[in-house]
Amino acid sequence: MASNLTKDAAGRETPAGGKTFFGHPRGLATLFMTEMWERFSFYGMRALLVLYLIAGGPDAKPGSQGGGLAMSQGNAVAIYSVYLAMVYLLAMPGGWFGDRVWGPRKTVAVAAGVIMAGHLALAVPGQATFFAGLALVALGSGLLKANISTMVGHLYDGPTDPRRDGGFTIFYMGINLGAFAAPLVIGTIGQSYSWHLGFALAALGMALGLAQFLIGTRHLSPRSSVVPTPLVAAERAAWLRKGLIWLVVAAVFYSVVVVSGSWTLNWALVPITILGLLIPTGVLVRIKRDKELTPVEQTKVSGYIWFFVAAAVFWMIYDQGGSTMSAFGETKTADTVFGLHFPSSWFQSVNPLWVMALAPVFAWAWLALARRLREPGTVVKFALALVLIGASFFVFVVPMGMASDGTKVSPMWLVSIYLIQTMGELCLSPVGLSVTTKMAPAKYASQMMGVWFLAVTAGDCVTGLLSIAGVDLSGVGMIALEAAVAVGAGVAVYASRKKVTRLMADVH
């Protein structure tokens, strides 16, 4: 994935100037560490989330630590799915804040503080503080996600800088290092000693990330402090007015619900999941119907919808690695290997480990095939990703059947399933990011990355709605059905590859 760097490229003056970090602008070290600590806190909390929600309840592992919220697995999966959906849904307004209100640098600093406050709220026992903390972490993650990537791009001399791809590859490794270490540290402490101490460690991780970000801001590009298209006074007033109106409407509505005694958790979960489906649909429809787009751009948007739907199906299954599969790892999977005991949260380190091991292999394979003019096209890669994610759940059916009589299955089943899912991820995620930038209409060049994240929102909201409706996502029949849907979608995409390729126009 990393590009080859020459001495000239490495030594060239950069916007941040001065020292380098592995031949890259010194500011990359600041952003690398910030992202690593943010992912450490995010994935550490994520590794504990479903386990904490079911702890002490009917679906918890016998003899496991209590002190959780004692929810059913279905409710836990619904909350987990809605939480992830909101993280990615909020990435779009997060990017908007960076572009129009605070600028990327200030937005990231504020976001890190919000995330830290959220983890601290999770560290305080109580259901009210738990949901407040979850909302804060989702909000902060959405604010940070788009803007920190933008600042990485600011470090380089435009898209043609030969160090740019290598810089993003190094940055991507920071994500996976944080994601790999978090379950081993936060998961172990939280699951084995105290849930709330684990959440507090996530807050500490984000605090370290924020501290080094503030210390290292002098190495960042001056462009990171600039608000590209600031709101004029009239726009600011209009946005504040609309926001206050909706806030009042929501406050009045939910006050009536609470006072009438009708309040249940579904009053919060159902509207959010429905919005998580309506907003992506509305955004795509708005872009598609924009009369200012050229005919070629219109055609590309039609082609992009295929990729968006395929990605939503993929993430619907993939993100259950931290919910349905996490619960299976806790209750139905052996927790010893060669006599060594480990907490089930360690399974959440498997995927980032596979990513770090396989990403260079996939990058080399695509290049090797390209030299022979045999590299699969984007459409074929998406089809392969769907077939792989579906195949992973077909494999999942086997240990689920083995565990139906109370037998604890080997941990290698989950390790193997995560391997197949990671292979699918490497066929879809980096390819999807690339095709999004290539197919974006000029008018929506900045917004389309947020649209790509909305595919994750849509997929997670489908999972959330199924859980809310009482569908048992941990049942063998449902797992097999999801697998069949994904494989069927992959076959449909492959069968339509010529049509989709035509819609892509000059993009290959």
Q: What is the DSSP string of 472-504?
A: -TTSHHHHHHHHHHHHHHHHHHHHTHHHHHHHT
Q: How confident is the model at residue 24 (pLDDT cuts 50, 70, 90)?
A: confident
Joined together, the tokens standing for residue 393 give 């759940």
Q: Would you say residue 2 has pLDDT above 70?
A: no
Q: How far apart are CA 314 and CA 429, in angstroms?
A: 10
CA dihedral (180, 182, 185, 189) in degrees, to 10, reads -140
Q: Would you say residue 1 has pLDDT above 50?
A: no
pLDDT at position 302 = 93
pLDDT at position 507 = 74
pLDDT at position 449 = 76
Query: Which tens digit of pLDDT belongs to each residue from 28-60?
Result: 889 999 999 999 999 999 999 999 999 999 999
If you average pLDDT over residues 235-246, what whole number do you get? 91
Query: Which tens digit of pLDDT belongs to each residue from 326-381?
Result: 999 999 999 988 888 999 999 999 999 999 999 889 888 888 888 888 889 899 99
Domain 278-508 architecture: Up-down Bundle (1.20)
Q: How confident is the model at residue 422 (pLDDT cuts 50, 70, 90)?
A: very high
Kindly give the pairing relationship between strand 20-21 and strand 340-341.
unpaired
Write a three-state SS string for 262-281. Answer: CCCCHHHHHHHHHHHHHHHH
Query: Which tens digit of pLDDT belongs to each residue from 258-293?
Result: 898 888 888 889 999 999 999 999 999 999 998 889
Of 367, 360, 371, 4, residue with least CA distance to 162: 4
Neighbouring residues of 292: CB distance < 8 A, sequence distance ≥ 6: 443
Q: How confident is the model at residue 446 (pLDDT cuts 50, 70, 90)?
A: low
pLDDT at position 13 = 40
pLDDT at position 17 = 44
Joined together, the tokens standing for residue 438 give 């290539």
Query: Which tens digit of pLDDT belongs to each residue from 179-217?
Result: 999 999 999 999 999 999 999 999 999 999 999 999 999
Q: Would you say residue 12 has pLDDT above 60?
A: no
Terminal Cα distance for the chain, rounded = 18
Q: How confident is the model at residue 165 (pLDDT cuts 50, 70, 90)?
A: low
Q: Domain residue spans in the chain?
A: 8-230, 278-508
The per-residue pLDDT of the chain, averaged, comes to 89
Question: Looking at residue 319, what DSSP letter applies?
Answer: G
Query: Which tens digit of pLDDT belongs to each residue from 464-494?
Result: 999 999 999 999 999 999 999 999 999 999 9
User: How many helices, marked H, and strands, marked E, lie in the chain?
Assistant: 19, 4
Joined together, the tokens standing for residue 391 give 């195949």
pLDDT at position 151 = 87
Percentage, residues of the chain above pLDDT 90: 62
pLDDT at position 160 = 65
Please state the φ and ψ torsions of residue 128, each to the nearest 5 degrees.
Answer: -65, -45
Helix, strand, coil content of the chain in percent (nearest 5): 75, 0, 20
**Do 8-230 and 278-508 show the same overall fold?**
yes
Query: Which tens digit of pLDDT belongs to each residue from 65-121?
Result: 989 999 999 999 999 999 999 999 998 888 888 888 898 999 999 999 999 999 999
pLDDT at position 438 = 82
DSSP-derived 3-state class of residue 61? coil
Q: Would you say residue 64 has pLDDT above 80?
A: yes
Q: How far apart are CA 218 and CA 336, in angstroms?
A: 47
Could you tell me the fold of the domain covering 8-230?
Growth Hormone; Chain: A; (1.20.1250)
